[in-house]
Amino acid sequence: MDNNSILLIDPTFDPASASTCNLLVKVGLDSFSYAIINKETKQVNAVFDEQECDNGAQKFAERLKTDSYLKLPYQEVKFAIHTANTIAIPNDLYNEANLESHSQFFTESHSGNLYCQAQNHFGFTTIFTLLRAIDKTLEEFTYAKKYEQNAGLIQLAEKLDGYNLLLDFTVASFNVLFIKNQQVVFQQCYEIENTEEFNYYILLIINQLNINLQETALNLTGIINKGDEKYHCLLKYFSKADFISVDTDLNQEVLDDMPAHYYSSLLALNQCV
Protein backbone atom coordinates (compact mmCIF):
# COMPACT_ATOMS: atom_id res chain seq x y z
CA MET A 1 0.00 0.00 0.00
CA ASP A 2 1.19 3.55 -0.65
CA ASN A 3 0.40 6.61 1.43
CA ASN A 4 -2.88 7.26 -0.38
CA SER A 5 -4.36 3.76 -0.18
CA ILE A 6 -5.62 1.35 2.44
CA LEU A 7 -6.76 -2.27 2.41
CA LEU A 8 -8.94 -3.43 5.28
CA ILE A 9 -9.61 -7.16 5.20
CA ASP A 10 -11.19 -9.69 7.53
CA PRO A 11 -8.41 -12.15 8.46
CA THR A 12 -10.91 -15.00 8.19
CA PHE A 13 -11.83 -14.18 4.58
CA ASP A 14 -11.21 -17.16 2.33
CA PRO A 15 -10.83 -16.28 -1.38
CA ALA A 16 -12.31 -19.69 -2.15
CA SER A 17 -15.65 -18.33 -0.89
CA ALA A 18 -15.81 -15.68 -3.66
CA SER A 19 -18.69 -17.46 -5.39
CA THR A 20 -20.90 -16.46 -2.44
CA CYS A 21 -19.69 -12.83 -2.49
CA ASN A 22 -20.39 -9.61 -4.33
CA LEU A 23 -17.64 -7.29 -5.56
CA LEU A 24 -18.56 -3.59 -5.48
CA VAL A 25 -16.27 -1.19 -7.35
CA LYS A 26 -16.41 2.60 -7.40
CA VAL A 27 -14.23 4.43 -9.94
CA GLY A 28 -14.25 8.15 -9.27
CA LEU A 29 -12.68 11.13 -10.96
CA ASP A 30 -9.72 11.04 -8.56
CA SER A 31 -10.27 7.88 -6.49
CA PHE A 32 -10.79 4.15 -6.71
CA SER A 33 -12.32 1.83 -4.12
CA TYR A 34 -13.87 -1.59 -3.83
CA ALA A 35 -15.63 -3.77 -1.27
CA ILE A 36 -16.18 -7.52 -0.99
CA ILE A 37 -19.44 -8.58 0.67
CA ASN A 38 -20.42 -12.15 1.53
CA LYS A 39 -24.06 -12.57 0.49
CA GLU A 40 -24.68 -15.52 2.82
CA THR A 41 -23.15 -14.16 6.04
CA LYS A 42 -23.88 -10.50 5.14
CA GLN A 43 -20.35 -9.60 6.15
CA VAL A 44 -18.10 -6.95 4.63
CA ASN A 45 -14.97 -9.00 4.06
CA ALA A 46 -12.74 -6.31 2.60
CA VAL A 47 -12.55 -2.64 1.63
CA PHE A 48 -9.83 -1.09 -0.51
CA ASP A 49 -9.59 2.65 -1.06
CA GLU A 50 -7.14 4.87 -2.90
CA GLN A 51 -7.50 8.65 -2.85
CA GLU A 52 -5.83 11.50 -4.75
CA CYS A 53 -5.31 9.51 -7.94
CA ASP A 54 -4.35 11.47 -11.02
CA ASN A 55 -6.97 9.40 -12.81
CA GLY A 56 -9.33 7.02 -11.03
CA ALA A 57 -10.02 4.94 -14.15
CA GLN A 58 -6.32 4.54 -14.88
CA LYS A 59 -5.66 3.55 -11.27
CA PHE A 60 -8.34 0.86 -11.49
CA ALA A 61 -6.81 -0.50 -14.71
CA GLU A 62 -3.39 -0.64 -13.04
CA ARG A 63 -4.76 -2.25 -9.89
CA LEU A 64 -6.58 -4.88 -11.92
CA LYS A 65 -3.21 -6.22 -13.12
CA THR A 66 -1.81 -6.75 -9.61
CA ASP A 67 -4.70 -7.22 -7.17
CA SER A 68 -5.75 -10.88 -6.97
CA TYR A 69 -8.94 -9.99 -5.07
CA LEU A 70 -10.32 -8.22 -8.15
CA LYS A 71 -9.95 -11.37 -10.26
CA LEU A 72 -11.88 -13.82 -8.06
CA PRO A 73 -15.02 -15.52 -9.47
CA TYR A 74 -17.67 -13.49 -7.62
CA GLN A 75 -21.39 -14.18 -7.56
CA GLU A 76 -22.06 -10.63 -8.71
CA VAL A 77 -19.93 -7.64 -9.70
CA LYS A 78 -21.14 -4.03 -9.72
CA PHE A 79 -19.27 -1.00 -11.05
CA ALA A 80 -20.12 2.65 -10.40
CA ILE A 81 -17.98 4.79 -12.69
CA HIS A 82 -17.47 8.51 -13.15
CA THR A 83 -18.30 9.82 -16.61
CA ALA A 84 -18.95 13.25 -18.10
CA ASN A 85 -21.47 11.72 -20.50
CA THR A 86 -24.54 11.10 -18.38
CA ILE A 87 -28.12 12.33 -18.56
CA ALA A 88 -31.27 11.62 -16.56
CA ILE A 89 -34.37 11.05 -18.70
CA PRO A 90 -37.84 11.15 -17.06
CA ASN A 91 -39.48 7.77 -17.56
CA ASP A 92 -42.36 9.23 -19.60
CA LEU A 93 -39.81 10.60 -22.11
CA TYR A 94 -37.46 7.62 -22.07
CA ASN A 95 -37.26 5.78 -25.40
CA GLU A 96 -35.74 2.37 -24.84
CA ALA A 97 -36.08 1.48 -28.50
CA ASN A 98 -33.92 4.41 -29.58
CA LEU A 99 -31.29 5.09 -26.92
CA GLU A 100 -29.07 6.90 -29.38
CA SER A 101 -31.62 9.71 -29.63
CA HIS A 102 -30.89 10.63 -26.02
CA SER A 103 -27.12 10.80 -26.54
CA GLN A 104 -27.40 14.15 -28.33
CA PHE A 105 -27.59 15.73 -24.89
CA PHE A 106 -24.22 14.37 -23.74
CA THR A 107 -21.51 16.83 -22.78
CA GLU A 108 -18.96 15.14 -25.05
CA SER A 109 -19.23 13.23 -28.32
CA HIS A 110 -19.21 9.48 -27.95
CA SER A 111 -18.51 6.41 -30.03
CA GLY A 112 -18.80 3.69 -27.40
CA ASN A 113 -21.41 1.61 -25.63
CA LEU A 114 -24.55 3.17 -24.20
CA TYR A 115 -25.62 2.04 -20.73
CA CYS A 116 -28.93 2.46 -18.90
CA GLN A 117 -29.61 2.62 -15.18
CA ALA A 118 -33.25 2.66 -14.08
CA GLN A 119 -34.02 4.84 -11.04
CA ASN A 120 -37.62 3.75 -10.64
CA HIS A 121 -37.93 5.16 -7.12
CA PHE A 122 -37.30 8.65 -8.51
CA GLY A 123 -39.01 8.10 -11.86
CA PHE A 124 -36.12 8.49 -14.29
CA THR A 125 -33.54 6.49 -16.21
CA THR A 126 -29.88 7.44 -16.39
CA ILE A 127 -28.22 6.97 -19.76
CA PHE A 128 -24.45 7.15 -19.88
CA THR A 129 -21.39 6.14 -21.82
CA LEU A 130 -17.86 5.37 -20.64
CA LEU A 131 -14.48 6.17 -22.08
CA ARG A 132 -13.25 3.56 -24.55
CA ALA A 133 -10.36 2.74 -22.20
CA ILE A 134 -12.82 1.89 -19.42
CA ASP A 135 -14.97 -0.23 -21.72
CA LYS A 136 -11.81 -2.07 -22.72
CA THR A 137 -10.78 -2.59 -19.11
CA LEU A 138 -14.21 -4.00 -18.21
CA GLU A 139 -14.30 -6.52 -21.07
CA GLU A 140 -13.23 -9.36 -18.80
CA PHE A 141 -16.15 -8.63 -16.44
CA THR A 142 -18.69 -9.99 -18.91
CA TYR A 143 -21.65 -10.16 -16.55
CA ALA A 144 -20.89 -7.12 -14.41
CA LYS A 145 -23.55 -4.49 -13.80
CA LYS A 146 -22.48 -0.96 -14.68
CA TYR A 147 -23.81 2.19 -13.02
CA GLU A 148 -23.07 5.90 -13.11
CA GLN A 149 -20.87 7.07 -10.21
CA ASN A 150 -23.76 8.57 -8.21
CA ALA A 151 -25.69 5.26 -8.06
CA GLY A 152 -24.81 4.57 -4.43
CA LEU A 153 -25.60 8.12 -3.37
CA ILE A 154 -28.98 7.96 -5.09
CA GLN A 155 -29.66 4.67 -3.32
CA LEU A 156 -28.94 6.35 0.02
CA ALA A 157 -31.31 9.19 -0.89
CA GLU A 158 -34.29 6.86 -1.29
CA LYS A 159 -34.89 6.77 2.47
CA LEU A 160 -34.95 10.58 2.82
CA ASP A 161 -38.03 12.80 2.81
CA GLY A 162 -38.47 16.53 2.21
CA TYR A 163 -35.64 18.73 0.95
CA ASN A 164 -32.18 17.15 1.08
CA LEU A 165 -28.74 18.15 -0.16
CA LEU A 166 -26.40 15.14 -0.25
CA LEU A 167 -22.64 15.55 -0.65
CA ASP A 168 -20.30 12.60 -1.24
CA PHE A 169 -16.62 13.49 -0.78
CA THR A 170 -13.28 12.22 -1.96
CA VAL A 171 -10.14 14.07 -0.90
CA ALA A 172 -10.16 16.32 -3.98
CA SER A 173 -13.72 16.22 -5.34
CA PHE A 174 -17.34 15.90 -4.28
CA ASN A 175 -20.58 14.66 -5.78
CA VAL A 176 -23.79 16.62 -5.25
CA LEU A 177 -27.36 15.37 -5.17
CA PHE A 178 -30.29 17.70 -4.42
CA ILE A 179 -33.65 16.09 -3.66
CA LYS A 180 -37.02 17.84 -3.32
CA ASN A 181 -39.85 15.67 -2.03
CA GLN A 182 -38.56 12.47 -3.63
CA GLN A 183 -37.59 14.19 -6.88
CA VAL A 184 -33.99 14.51 -8.06
CA VAL A 185 -33.50 18.17 -8.96
CA PHE A 186 -29.75 18.28 -9.50
CA GLN A 187 -26.67 16.05 -9.56
CA GLN A 188 -23.09 16.96 -10.41
CA CYS A 189 -19.43 16.25 -9.63
CA TYR A 190 -16.88 18.98 -8.85
CA GLU A 191 -13.10 18.90 -8.51
CA ILE A 192 -11.76 21.12 -5.71
CA GLU A 193 -8.20 22.21 -4.98
CA ASN A 194 -8.83 24.01 -1.69
CA THR A 195 -11.46 25.21 0.76
CA GLU A 196 -11.92 28.51 -1.07
CA GLU A 197 -12.87 26.70 -4.25
CA PHE A 198 -15.19 24.40 -2.29
CA ASN A 199 -16.85 27.46 -0.73
CA TYR A 200 -17.39 28.92 -4.21
CA TYR A 201 -19.15 25.80 -5.46
CA ILE A 202 -21.33 25.52 -2.35
CA LEU A 203 -22.49 29.12 -2.75
CA LEU A 204 -23.08 28.52 -6.47
CA ILE A 205 -25.22 25.45 -5.70
CA ILE A 206 -27.21 27.26 -3.01
CA ASN A 207 -27.86 30.29 -5.21
CA GLN A 208 -28.49 28.55 -8.53
CA LEU A 209 -30.88 26.02 -7.00
CA ASN A 210 -32.53 28.55 -4.65
CA ILE A 211 -31.94 26.22 -1.73
CA ASN A 212 -33.84 27.18 1.41
CA LEU A 213 -31.22 26.72 4.13
CA GLN A 214 -33.83 26.39 6.89
CA GLU A 215 -35.88 23.70 5.12
CA THR A 216 -33.06 21.69 3.52
CA ALA A 217 -31.29 18.91 5.40
CA LEU A 218 -27.56 18.51 4.72
CA ASN A 219 -26.36 14.89 4.46
CA LEU A 220 -22.68 13.98 4.15
CA THR A 221 -20.82 10.84 3.18
CA GLY A 222 -17.30 10.02 2.03
CA ILE A 223 -13.98 11.47 3.14
CA ILE A 224 -15.06 14.33 5.40
CA ASN A 225 -14.95 14.71 9.18
CA LYS A 226 -16.36 16.94 11.85
CA GLY A 227 -13.92 19.74 12.45
CA ASP A 228 -12.17 19.78 9.09
CA GLU A 229 -12.17 22.86 6.86
CA LYS A 230 -14.88 21.68 4.46
CA TYR A 231 -17.17 20.75 7.35
CA HIS A 232 -16.74 24.19 8.94
CA CYS A 233 -17.33 25.80 5.55
CA LEU A 234 -20.70 24.06 5.26
CA LEU A 235 -21.74 25.15 8.74
CA LYS A 236 -21.41 28.78 7.64
CA TYR A 237 -24.61 28.20 5.66
CA PHE A 238 -26.37 25.21 7.21
CA SER A 239 -27.34 24.93 10.87
CA LYS A 240 -26.22 21.30 11.04
CA ALA A 241 -24.84 18.44 8.98
CA ASP A 242 -25.72 14.75 9.31
CA PHE A 243 -23.49 11.87 8.28
CA ILE A 244 -25.18 9.12 6.25
CA SER A 245 -24.63 5.48 7.09
CA VAL A 246 -25.83 2.49 5.09
CA ASP A 247 -29.23 1.35 6.29
CA THR A 248 -28.61 -2.40 6.06
CA ASP A 249 -27.92 -5.37 8.30
CA LEU A 250 -24.39 -5.76 6.96
CA ASN A 251 -21.70 -6.80 9.44
CA GLN A 252 -19.12 -4.02 9.02
CA GLU A 253 -16.63 -5.01 11.72
CA VAL A 254 -13.79 -4.69 9.24
CA LEU A 255 -14.52 -0.94 9.23
CA ASP A 256 -14.72 -0.52 13.01
CA ASP A 257 -11.62 1.70 13.05
CA MET A 258 -12.98 3.97 10.30
CA PRO A 259 -15.75 6.60 10.41
CA ALA A 260 -19.02 4.84 9.53
CA HIS A 261 -19.85 7.29 6.73
CA TYR A 262 -16.59 6.96 4.76
CA TYR A 263 -17.80 4.14 2.51
CA SER A 264 -21.58 4.50 2.67
CA SER A 265 -22.03 5.22 -1.04
CA LEU A 266 -19.72 2.34 -1.97
CA LEU A 267 -21.55 -0.18 0.21
CA ALA A 268 -24.93 1.14 -0.95
CA LEU A 269 -24.13 -0.29 -4.39
CA ASN A 270 -24.96 -3.66 -2.87
CA GLN A 271 -28.63 -2.56 -2.84
CA CYS A 272 -28.68 -1.31 -6.43
CA VAL A 273 -30.62 -3.55 -8.82
Could you tell me which residues are beta bridge partners of residue 164?
Answer: 179, 217
Question: Residue 7 pLDDT more than 70?
Answer: yes
Question: Residue 1 pLDDT more than 70?
Answer: no
CA gap 271, 249 in Å, rounded: 12
CA gap 82, 29 in Å, rounded: 6
Mean pLDDT of all residues belonging to the chain: 93
> Average of pLDDT values for 186-209?
97
CATH of segment(s) 160-243:
3.30.420.260
Altogether, the residues listed in the chain come to a count of 273
Q: What is the pLDDT of residue 132?
A: 87
Question: Residue 248 pLDDT more than 80?
Answer: no
Degrees, nearest 5: CA angle 257-30-8 = 25
Question: Residue 105 pLDDT more than 90?
Answer: no
Question: Residue 2 pLDDT more than 60?
Answer: no
Q: What is the pLDDT of residue 3?
A: 62
Question: Residue 258 pLDDT more than 90?
Answer: yes
Q: How confident is the model at residue 4 (pLDDT cuts 50, 70, 90)?
A: confident
> Average of pLDDT values for 218-224?
98
Contacts of 243 by beta carbon, 8 Å cutoff, 6+ apart: 219, 220, 221, 259, 260, 261
pTM of the model: 0.94
Question: Residue 109 pLDDT more than 90?
Answer: no
Q: How confident is the model at residue 103 (pLDDT cuts 50, 70, 90)?
A: confident
Contacts of 192 by beta carbon, 8 Å cutoff, 6+ apart: 172, 173, 174, 198, 201
> Average of pLDDT values for 232-245?
96
Interval 166-187: pLDDT, tens:
999 999 999 999 999 999 999 9
